[in-house]
Structures are given as C-alpha cells and as structure tokens.
Amino acid sequence: MGHLPDFIQDLALILISAGIFTILFKWLKQPVVLGYIVAGFFAGPQINKLLITLANELLGVHGDKIIFYMEKLPSVKDMENIATWADIGVIFLLFALGLDFSFKKLLKVGGPASIATFINMGSMIVIGYGAGKLLGWGDMDSIFLGGMLSMSSTTIIIKAFNDMGLQKTKFANIVFGMLIVEDLAAIIMMVLLSTVAVSRHFEGSEMVNSLFKLLFFIFMWFVVGIYLIPTMFRKLKKYLSDETLLIVSLGICLGMVLFASSVGFSAALGAFIAGSILAETIESKHIEHLIEPLKNFFGAVFFVSVGMMIDPVIILEYSSIILLLTVVVLTGRVIFATLGVMASGQGLKVAVQSGFSLAQIGEFSFIIATLGMSLGVISDIMYPVIVTVSVITTFTTPYFIRMSPAISGYIEKLIPSKWNKLVYGYAFSDYKVVNKQNDWNKLLKNILLQVSVYFTMSFAIMLICKIYFIPFITNNIPGVWGSFLSAVITLVLMSPFMRAMIMKKNKSQEFKNLWNDNHFNRGVLISLIILRIILAVILASMVIFPLFPTAKTLLILIAFTVTVGIILSQGLKKQSRKIEARFLKNLSQKQLYEEKKAAIPTTVANDMRAKNIHIEEYEIPPNAPIIGKTLQELRFKQETGVSIITILRGNRKINIPAANECLYPYDKIIVSGCDEELLKLNASLGNGISPDHEDIPQHHINLSQYEIENGSSLTGKTIKELKLRERTETLIVEIERNDESIINFSSDFMLLEGDTLLLAGEQEKLDTFDENIR
C-alpha cells in the first residue's frame, strides 16, 4: 500500500487518542465527553506549538534537538477534513436527539417544564449578553455568549443521574422535561442566531419572518412525515431487516438535511426534525439502537474537534474571563433554574435539586459556538473560552447534585411557617376534585389546532404547485387554458384540506352543547364558521389571482364559488376524513402500543407521581441475592418502604402478589414509592430498568379512593387485621387523614372513621372492594 492520505492518518490519531483518554476518564469516573475534548487537545496542533514555545523559552539555543523531535510528534494535519467529519457528527447527534425528543413528549411535559425552561433560559440569555457587554465585547459576541450560557448539557446530566442512581427520582423527571423543552428552544435559537448573524443587526420584521418560516416548515414536515413514514414502515415491515431499516432511516435523515438546507435552514435542524418524526413510529427504539454506533463514532470526532480548538495560550491569557463566566454559569443557572421550577409549582427541595443539576453548559453550546465561527461573527477567543468553561462546570456537576439536598434543607429552616407553599409547592393532584374541561375551551382549542394543520397543508401544496407544477404547465400550455388547468390542479390538491379546515368540529358534541345552550352562542359559532370560510376564500384567491391578474371582483366571486363547492362536495368529505384517520392512526400507534405493554396506565402513573408516589419498573438480575426468596422474607415494605404492585413473569402477570410469592431471575416488578424509597430498592437490586419486551399484559392496575364512613367494618382495625391483600386483592398506597397525606405506614397502622384510602388494583377488584371487606 502506498503513502496513506493525511485524512486516514488524522482519523487514526483521533481514534487512538480518543480511545486512550476515554478509558482513562472512565477509570476516573468522569464523563466520556471530557475524555474526547482532552484527547482533541493533545491530538491537535496547539499542543505542539505550546511545547515548542516552552522549549524555546526555557532551553534557548540548546533546545534545538528537542524542538526537532517535538516537531516530529504526530498531530492532526488537515483540519478541514476533520471539520467536515465534525459537521457529520453534529448531524448524527441532532438526529439521535430528535429520536429521543418526540413532539408528543413535549406536549406531555407541558406547561410546568416550559415555564421553568423559559425563566431559566431567558434569564441566562440576558445575563450572558450583559456579561459580554461588561467585558467590552461586541453585540454579536454578546448575543452568541448569551445563547451558549443558556443551554444545559443533556449528555452530562444523564451520565451523572445514571452514575448516582437518581434517574427515577421526581426532580430527575422534571429536569428531563426541561431538557426536552431546551432541545426545541435550542433549534429555534440557532435559526434566529443565524438570521441575526447574516443581517448583522436586530430587525424585528426579519426576525418574525424567520420565526414564522421556521414554525411553518417544522409544522409541515411533521404533519407530512407522520402521514407518510409510519404508513411506509407498516407496509414494508417484512422487508425491514436491521440493515435495511438503518439505511432507510439514514436516508430519511440526510434527505431532510438536504431539504432543510435547500430552503435556507441548517443541516442540524433537518436532522433533528427527521429524528423527531421517526420518534413517533413503533420502530423508534430499534432505529435508536441501530444508529448508536454511528452516533458514537461521529459524535466522538465532533467532540475531539472541539478539543482541538482549545488554545492553552488563550486560556492563560483570558483566565480571568473564564473564571468570571464559570461563576456566572454556576450561580446564574442554579438560581434561575430553581426559581423557574418553583414558578412551575414544585416544592423547594425538588426545585433546588433541579437547579443544581442544570449548573453546566455542554454540547449545544459547542454547536452554537461552531455556528458563530462558521458564520464568522464571533471572535476566535470565544470557542476555547466557552469549551474551558464547559469542562470546568462538567467536573462540578456531580458535586453540585450531591450538595443540593443539604442546601435545600438549610433554606427550608430559614423560611417562615406561613410561607409553606414555597416548601411544598402548589402543583398537586386531588382525586376528590374533578375538573371538567369547559366546552368553549375544548372546542376553540380543537378548532385552532385543526385550522393550523389544514391551513398549513393547503398553503404548502400551493407553494409546491407554484414553484414546480404551474411553471411547467404554463410553459407547455400557454394562454388562458394553461392558467385554467394550473388553477384546477392546484385547487383540487388543496380542496380536501380546505374542506376539513372549514367543516371539522362543526358536528362535535361540544358544538352541539353550545348551540343548544343559548342564542348568543349560536352567533359566535356561526362567526367561527364564517371566519374559516374567509380563510378558505383567501387561499383560493392566492391561487387564482396570480394566474388571472385582471377582473379582481370576478375572481373573488369565483374563489367564493369554489369554496362553496368544496364545502358541499361529499367526495371531498370522505377524502378529508380518510386523510385525517390515517394521520391520527399513525400519530397514536406508538402510544397505544406502549400503553398495551405497560402494566400501569400512563395517566395513573402521572397522577401518583403528582402525589410524590412513583410507579417504576425493575428487572430482577440473574445474580441478585433476592432470587428464590418470598416477598415475606424480603420485607421490601419494611426495609425499603416500596410496595410491590405487580410481578411480570414471561406472559404471566401477578397483580398484588401474596406474601408467599417468590422472585425469579428476569422477573419484572412494578413498584410504588417515593424518591428515597426507590433509591433504596435500586441499591438492593443493583441495576436499572428492564429492557422492552413484546409480552403484552392483559390487565391494568388502576387507582380508586375509598372513604371510611360511619359504621364501616374497617374503623378501629389495623391493616394487618383486615388482611386486605387476601380478601380484596388490592393494596393501600396512601392514606389521607385530616388533609394529611400518609405514605409510610406499617401493618400496625389503625384506620379511623373519615380516613380516605388510595387503593391500587385491577378495576374489577376495586369495584368489588366494598363487598369483599364486609
């Protein structure tokens, strides 16, 4: 073999260095990402320059021979090739992030995570901009600095939680929700920063235009992707081997990257959207598993390239700036993340733990810095400075998480008793209160969603026709007939969506309730229909006007006539219903599949989590010391505080297991308990959550409340005396007495009149509970 290209030599050096330092950092129990960055520092050209400079200064003329050998030390030679591979790394990192993101996850974390993230990110952007101006930096440097300081490191946080066994705690769930919102916010931020960088100044109209353009394309891509891709996977399932699924998934990813680039967005945005669409398919976990080696490889190249940008001379020269920004990150993110979580309704302890977990910056900060460098709008010193700050804050993250409980306890002691809402929070669930959604709120929310989706799809079809089909038709069929044919084809393609935009929800139960309620409601409901008809007329006019520039009044009348025809068409009605049915089926198939597999319905688990009771699933390791022992011998309730609700054993499911039930290797146990209790159980089992299986349980555990009334046979008896497990096959998970929630109770706990029991069990057993205890 002849002389190896520089590219192969550089890649070999990168991977050898990365391998050595990742092993070293794993031995030191530090995040692998830091190992990559340090590997890049030693593999890059900067370290050779530093050593030669030191040799010159310390040895003078006598150091010539040493310098000669130093110049022969291996280092990366072609940084342009490495930059290309690093760009590919960003694509795969964002694709993997999108696979774990899912827009439905974003809706699930909802308002609380959005409020907390908005307060945290908004505050840090303002503080980062202020810090940049304080340091005498320009507007662009300060804006990008604010963006970099506002982003936490998902990689580092997940690694820290896994290492410390905290991934199942309440505050960890809140942090994960905030990270989901941050991911989307980061994508939007990158687009807006690109707009600011290109224009070199703030211009409100341009920013708004970029934001609307971004939202339009995200919406369109998501709707079209959900309509087409799950259907394609379903029809081609028998052909999708691991190899084929990997190639198809990467093709979708890179195809979206090309499309995003062609309409003026970044490759990272296209990769993220592709991942988020595939996240809604049943195959998402399989795809995530298949691309993990690629993500790890290219991600390693990216993080190594980040390390190559570190210049020790700049770090020494700007050490005071690095120290200042480190303090800003550690204090600012802790304070504002804590305040954000408290503002979302959580208690002080959870808020402080969440805030201290988010006290770092990471991979998205590097991506934003890379964006600024590629656009040429930030100074050269910012990259090594921000990477150094990230390294320091990454090292401090585990220590901040460990100290958070003690700090929250100290703060609690300082808060007056009349401010208890700060300590316990105001977000809670109460089964005695049933909040029925107002018909107006529900109807307006559904109509807004329907109009947004169908208007966007109609507009997108119009744009595609305008760019591709209409010029082709009018060039080949000149004159009025070409324009007429173009208008007909475009309107026919748009018509199913235009009809759905006008007519959907006009026969819903909420619409009927409001219509029958009073005459005022009827006027408003008719106005809503008219507004949607006007939107449809505007869409039709946007198609017709450019093709027939004269006789505007006649054209408006034609557009109105077309809209009326669309409304009255029964064929379009069937077509729009068929399109919507397929979309909804594709959108919900993963959720329905996962709910069928779950032992506990998601709604039940969420309700219990709001009461600080978590429902979690564990798999029994084959070497666990608890194997072969009965639940009575293991004394889980007494030793750890958790209650075992269900045991899954192959296709068999044992709800509310008896005390003489044994545990076997690979049994899956569904347990309930608070954060501290789950941590004790996790330590006793020695491993985490079980992998997904195809076995689908046939029965679900539900929750129900039972109030002990006057004369009840439960009054004055202990839980041991009642033998509820044997008599009713249900389990008490919480007792409410005098507005106090009691989770930790022994078998000797005596029940009193007026107590409210929160019971867990199969619905059939809950329905017959009252009969079985008599």
Average pLDDT score, the chain: 77
Task: Kindly report, residue by residue over 637-691, the tens digit of the pLDDT.
Answer: 777 878 888 888 877 778 888 888 888 888 888 887 776 777 777 776 654 433 3
pLDDT beyond 70 at 572: no
Query: Which two tokens mark 390?
Result: 């990230």
pLDDT beyond 60 at 161: yes
How far is it, in rounded angstroms, from Cα 701 to Cα 595? Answer: 12
Looking at residue 436, its pLDDT comes to: 36
Alpha carbon of 716 to those of 450, 735, 748: distances in Å?
56, 14, 11
Between 74 and 276, the more confident residue is: 276
* Three-state SS at 732: strand
How far is it, in rounded angstroms, from Cα 418 to Cα 16? Answer: 60
What single-letter amino acid sits at 652? R
Looking at residue 241, its pLDDT comes to: 85
**How many Cβ atoms from other residues are within 10 Å of residue 486's Cβ?**
23
Between 120 and 560, the more confident residue is: 120
What are φ and ψ of residue 168, in 5° steps? -100, 5
Task: Kindly report, residue by residue over 178-189, the tens digit of the pLDDT.
Answer: 887 887 788 788
What are φ and ψ of residue 641, in 5° steps? 95, -10
pLDDT beyond 80 at 761: yes
Looking at residue 537, its pLDDT comes to: 84
CB 501 within 8 A of CB 450: yes
Task: Kindly report, residue by residue over 687-721, the tens digit of the pLDDT.
Answer: 443 333 444 445 567 888 888 888 788 888 888 88
Side-chain-side CA neighbours of residue 722 (13 Å): 26
State the DSSP code for 310.
-
The arithmetic mean of pLDDT across residues 146-173, rounded, is 79
pLDDT beyond 60 at 389: yes
Looking at residue 328, its pLDDT comes to: 92
The pTM of this model reads 0.65
CB 279 within 8 A of CB 100: yes
The arithmetic mean of pLDDT across residues 424-442, rounded, is 51
Residues facing residue 648 across a β-bridge: 653, 668
- The proportion of the chain whose per-residue pLDDT surpasses 90, expressed as a percent, equals 3
The arithmetic mean of pLDDT across residues 153-176, rounded, is 76
pLDDT beyond 70 at 511: yes
Task: Kindly report, residue by residue over 543-558, the tens digit of the pLDDT.
Answer: 888 887 766 666 677 7
pLDDT beyond 60 at 565: yes
The arithmetic mean of pLDDT across residues 608-616, rounded, is 62
Beta strands in 635-690 (DSSP E): 643-649, 652-655, 668-673
Task: Write the DSSP string, 183-225.
Answer: HHHHHHHHHHHHHHHHHSS--HHHHHHHHHHHHHHHHHHHHHH
Task: Kindly report, residue by residue over 71-114, the tens digit of the pLDDT.
Answer: 455 566 666 777 777 778 888 888 888 887 766 666 666 667 78
pLDDT beyond 80 at 517: no
Query: What are the residues whose beta carbons fall under 8 Å from the beta carbon of 721, sequence distance 6 or more?
Result: none
CB 589 within 8 A of CB 230: yes
Task: Kindly report, residue by residue over 217-255, the tens digit of the pLDDT.
Answer: 777 777 778 878 888 888 888 888 888 889 999 999 999
Looking at residue 429, its pLDDT comes to: 42
Q: Is 740 exposed, middle or buried (0-12, 13-18, 19+ CB in 10 A)?
A: exposed
Helix, strand, coil percentages, rounded to 5, for the chain: 70, 5, 25
CB 453 within 8 A of CB 375: no
**Reduced 3-state DSSP string for 725-765:** HHHHCCEEEEEEECCEEECCCCCCCECCCCCEEEEEEEHHH
Band of residue 331 on the pLDDT scale cut at 50, 70, 90: very high
Looking at residue 711, its pLDDT comes to: 78
Alpha carbon of 87 to those of 92, 198, 476: distances in Å?
9, 20, 42
The arithmetic mean of pLDDT across residues 611-617, rounded, is 67
CB 758 within 8 A of CB 703: yes
How far is it, in rounded angstroms, from Cα 30 to Cα 32? Answer: 6
Task: Kindly report, residue by residue over 333-369, the tens digit of the pLDDT.
Answer: 999 988 888 887 777 888 888 889 988 887 788 888 8
Helices (H), 376-416: 382-414
pLDDT beyond 50 at 745: yes
pLDDT beyond 90 at 327: yes
**Nearest CA among 390, 298, 294 for reference residue 15:** 298
What are φ and ψ of residue 348, in 5° steps? -65, -45
